[in-house]
Structures are given as C-alpha cells and as structure tokens.
Amino acid sequence: MAATYTAVHPVRRPEGRPARDDFAFVTGTIPGLQDGQVLVENLLLSVDPYMREALEFEDWQEGFGMEGRTLGRVVASREPSLPVGAIVFHRHGWSTHAILGPRDTRRIVEPADGVPLSAYLGILGGTGLTAYVGLTRVAKLQPGEDLFVSAAAGAVGSAVGQIARVLGARRIVGSAGSAAKVDRLVQELGFDAAFDYHGGDLSKKLAEAAPDGVDVYFDNVGGDHLEAAIDGLREFGRIAWCGAIAQYDSLRTPPAAPRNLFDVVGKRIRLEGFLVRDHGDVRPEFEDFITPHLRSGAVRVDETVVDGFENIVDAFLGLLAGENTGKMLVRAGS
C-alpha cells in the first residue's frame, strides 16, 4: 500500500489563459482506511475544458487534488463490494491516489470486448454521453437533418459528429482550429465538410460548408460561433448549448451577446443549455446504443494520451491551446 500521494492544486486564479505557475504539485501522507473505504491508484485521468471554469471558484477540490474524471485500480480495500484489483471510475482526479467509498465510484466490471479501458473516460464515458444527450434529448436530431458542431476535433465535438452519423444525420459540418484538424474530420471521422475558424467571417464559412443551412447546432464554443450558427440555422432549428470555451479565459468579463440574438425569435429557434450530470438515467440506454458501433468500428475511440502524472498540467494547458485531437487523457499508471 502506497504511503504518500502526489496531487495538483491551483495556487491562484489565472488571469486569462492559465500558466504552469498557476499550479503546484503537493505531496501528502495517505491516511488509514476506514470501514467502507478503498484506496485507489489512479491509472488514467481526463483533462477537460470545464476545468478552466472551475479554477474561478473555491470548490475545485475532490479528495487530494482537483476534481476530474478518472479511472483507477483498487489497491487496498475495506469495502467488500470493491475488492483489490477492481477498476473504478470516479471524480477524485489530479492525484496519484484517492480514498473512496461505493457512492464515490462506478465499477467497470466487464469492459466491452474490443473496447479499450480509456474509452470509459471518452466516447463510452461522460464525453460520449454528453454528445448523445445533446443530440437526442436536447436537440432531438432526426434522421435526414443537417448538423453543425463547433470545436468538432475536440473530445465532445468528435463524438457528436460520429454519433450523429449513426443516428442518420444527412450533412454534418464541423469547425476546428487548424487545416490538419479540418482534414482529419473529413477524411477520418466522417464529416461531410469542415472549416478552420481562424480568420474570415464564420457565417460565410458556415454558409459555404452548408449552403442550404442546418437544422441543429451543437455548441461547444459560444461567442462568434453561436452568432454564425444562428445565421445558418433554418426556421425552427435547435441549439444544444454544451460549452463556451471561447469565454472561459474571460469569465469575469461579461461576454458580448451574439449581435443577431433576436433572430432566435424570428426563426423560432429553440436554444437550450444542458449539463450532462442531469441525465445520468440515460447512461444504460447510451451504452447499449454506442457499444455495438464501437465494436464494429463505425464509431472510433478518438483520443490523445500524455504519459506521466507529472505532465498533467502541461496536458491541461495543451488542451486549452488546442493541441489535442479527441479526448485528452493522462496515463499515470498501468
């Protein structure tokens, strides 16, 4: 049983884009287990855009370090339902170890054949569930409809595009942050069209990629992307608003609303924000839906993996800089 843990703590609120000096690695002694507790060694840790928003608040900590989705192995147990060797999902991330109880964990009992464990933090985890909920419960995408998704090369965006395809979407358009990512969306992930959002008029770029407009917009960015989507949506279009990564570095500055916001009324567009944590009841349905497509290869496990817990801050900063494709993960153990 490990005697100490290493964790990451923020040391101050970032001013704009976070930097390495905004974080500190700390070590501590792991306390003894109480009845009903287990000690988990973290194996795979997720870094996600929402963590930038969490840095603005005081409730960033879960367990020894920052909150974050994590997969780990039980290495000591005083809880019969979680024996040594069990693999669990939990949210006490940004630490090498965690002390947990059954209510803090979801046991991965039998990973699906042909599906890597890492998928349970990505396409088969909260990332894929977010995409599925936004498409099916919020936007109610129908077969034959056209979709635009922003930040399409990221974790949620790439899941949205792939899931929309198997749901029967007709034309799928994505925005991304580089020509290489644009090519990957079209050539590898099955998007019909994509564009680099840097430079130029986003409304014009979307109109070129979807000249007949779109029915659904899945928003991971906010700001000018939302404005362009309102321009491009047909009457009675729907917007599933998941994130606003364009605004996370300036949360203390009120964002400029899209200049065409009133067009939501004229076009009778429905805009709904959502949090995946409110839709935990959908998980069994989602897993039954997505697992056969993962096994067949119709949906890919799309991820970027950084090795070493000591590199978790760099992985997070790289995520915010757009250095990943798909889910950004840190492999802390094996």
One domain, residues 201 and 253: yes
Tokens of 5: 């843990």
One domain, residues 215 and 132: yes
- Which one, of 151, 139, 133, 143, lies nearest residue 237 by Cα? 139
pLDDT at position 1:
60
Q: Greatest CA separation found in the chain?
A: 63
One domain, residues 132 and 107: no
CB–CB of 124/330 below 8 Å? no
**Is residue 296 included in any domain, yes or no?**
no
Does the pLDDT at position 228 exceed 80?
A: yes
One domain, residues 83 and 202: no
One domain, residues 29 and 113: yes
**Strand-pair partners of 239:** 217, 271
pLDDT tens, residue by residue, 7-45: 999 998 888 889 999 999 999 999 999 999 999 999 999
**Weakest mean pLDDT among 131-135, 204-208, 246-250, 260-264:** 246-250
Q: What is the rounded CA–CA span in Å between residue 21 and residue 163?
A: 38
One domain, residues 110 and 185: no
One domain, residues 114 and 133: no
Q: What is the CA radius of gyration of the chain?
A: 20
Q: HEC string of 121-141?
A: HCCCCHHHHHHHHHHHHHCCC
**Is residue 325 included in any domain, yes or no?**
yes
Tokens of 80: 């019969």
pTM attached to this predicted model: 0.90
Tokens of 29: 């002694």
Does the pLDDT at position 250 exceed 80?
A: no
One domain, residues 258 and 142: yes
Going by pLDDT thresholds of 50, 70 and 90, the confidence category of residue 60 is confident
**Is residue 290 included in any domain, yes or no?**
no
pLDDT at position 212:
96
Q: What is the rounded CA–CA span in Å between residue 202 and residue 172?
A: 16
Is 62 or 240 the better-scoring residue by pLDDT?
A: 240
Does the pLDDT at position 248 exceed 80?
A: no
One domain, residues 175 and 269: yes
The tally of domains found in the chain comes to 2
One domain, residues 90 and 132: no
Q: What is the DSSP string of 74-123?
A: EEEES-TTS-TT-EEEES--SBSEEEE-GGG-EE--SPPTT--GGGGGTT
Q: What is the rounded CA–CA span in Å between residue 23 and residue 255?
A: 26
Q: What is the DSSP string of 245-294?
A: GGGGGGTTSPPPPPTTTTHHHHTT-EEEE--GGGGGGGHHHHHHHHHHHH
**Is residue 285 included in any domain, yes or no?**
no
Q: What is the rounded CA–CA span in Å between residue 26 and residue 65?
A: 9
**Is residue 248 included in any domain, yes or no?**
yes
CATH code of 257's domain: 3.40.50.720
One domain, residues 260 and 313: no
- Mean pLDDT for 274-299 is 94
One domain, residues 138 and 251: yes
pLDDT at position 252:
58
pLDDT tens, residue by residue, 94-153: 999 999 999 999 999 776 777 899 999 999 999 999 999 999 999 999 999 999 999 999
Q: Containing domain of residue 21, as a range?
A: 4-122+302-331
Going by pLDDT thresholds of 50, 70 and 90, the confidence category of residue 253 is low
**Is residue 297 included in any domain, yes or no?**
no
Tokens of 195: 């564009």
Q: Quote the mean pLDDT of the chain.
A: 92
pLDDT at position 244:
81
pLDDT at position 319:
93
**Is residue 294 included in any domain, yes or no?**
no
Percent of the chain with pLDDT over 90: 81
pLDDT at position 334:
67
CATH code of 306's domain: 3.90.180.10
**Is residue 287 included in any domain, yes or no?**
no
Q: What is the rounded CA–CA span in Å between residue 5 and residue 154?
A: 31
